[in-house]
Amino acid sequence: MRESIHKFFKVGIIQWMSFPKSDPLDSLLEICRDDYFDAIEIKGYGSDELNAKAKVILDQSHMKVCFGSQPWLLGPKLNPNDIDEESRQIAEDTLKKAVDTAEYFGASGIAFLAGKWCPDTKEKAYEQLLKTTRAVCDYAKTKNMNVELEVFDFDMDKAALIGPAPYAAEFAADMRKTHNNFGLIVDLSHFPTTYETSKFVIRTLRPYITHFHFGNAVVKKGCDGYGDLHPRFGYPESANDIPELLDYLRVLRDEGFFNADDPYVLSMEVTLRPGEDEKIVLANTKRCLNRAWALLED
């Protein structure tokens, strides 16, 4: 493409993924000083004092702030579709607290993921997830904020209730019947883990997508990095590299997601394998996005 990717997308970075080893405020400064990024996805900084310091930095940056509450669930192993009602309520309350924190940082909403499920209780888990998501959307709406569910694998690593894509579409349709502040996040990293393609996922979920991630995955059993671990592009035995990223961008273009007037966030979700360097892996990801964009036909 001759025109800049920044015309059509807010290119983002997921801070806790790209900088897992650095001091959070130091890496926040580095990201905010880098004009390659138009958006940043954060999870909060652990205390009121650190949150206040981070907010001062973010307020200067003119970046779109997105809030990921996935770690708020994964860390303490909370399940928003838990069959046990008391446990489900804890997950709901946690997500509402995430909405409050996101509001403090000026984010327009939160992202989260479904919890694990069992085949014997899948239908009940689906109803529990609807209950949680509707309650969180109701709460977010009082603050004029949105709620996004990220689509994950169902049998490889996270084993989340939502996806694959057809099941995510069913859930999103049910949510949209009652809540217009709900949407889906899709991630190129997850397509190999759900045995799907960019074209299939994007076309299946087209009406409900509000946010994009891109990255890589290893889906060959027995290989290093197997599962939903988001290794760098070009990692041995991995599924995605520049050709797959180019295909993703082509599908997004063809399905009408290039929007210069109101760009979608397109965030890199890439992290380190043992012994790797944060800044090298970050540069790797930028190079791959730049190359894929350069190869994209006008």
Q: How confident is the model at residue 156 (pLDDT cuts 50, 70, 90)?
A: confident
pLDDT digits (tens, 9 = 90+) for 19-61: 999 999 999 999 999 999 999 999 999 999 999 999 999 999 9
289-294 long-range Cβ contacts below 8 angstroms, 24+ apart: 289/5, 289/11, 289/214, 289/245, 291/242, 292/242, 292/245, 292/246, 292/248, 292/249, 293/1, 293/5, 293/249, 294/1
Q: Which of 2-11, 154-163, 284-293 is predicted with the least confidence, judged by mean pLDDT?
A: 154-163
pLDDT digits (tens, 9 = 90+) for 123-141: 999 999 999 999 999 999 9
Contact status, residue 242 vs residue 288, Cβ threshold 8 Å: yes
pLDDT digits (tens, 9 = 90+) for 62-117: 999 999 999 999 999 999 999 999 999 999 999 999 999 999 999 999 999 999 98
State the average pLDDT for the chain.
97
Map out the domains of the chain with their CATH numbers. Answer: 5-295 (3.20.20.150)
pTM: 0.96
pLDDT number for residue 157: 86
Q: What are phi and psi for residue 284, nearest 5 degrees?
A: -55, -50
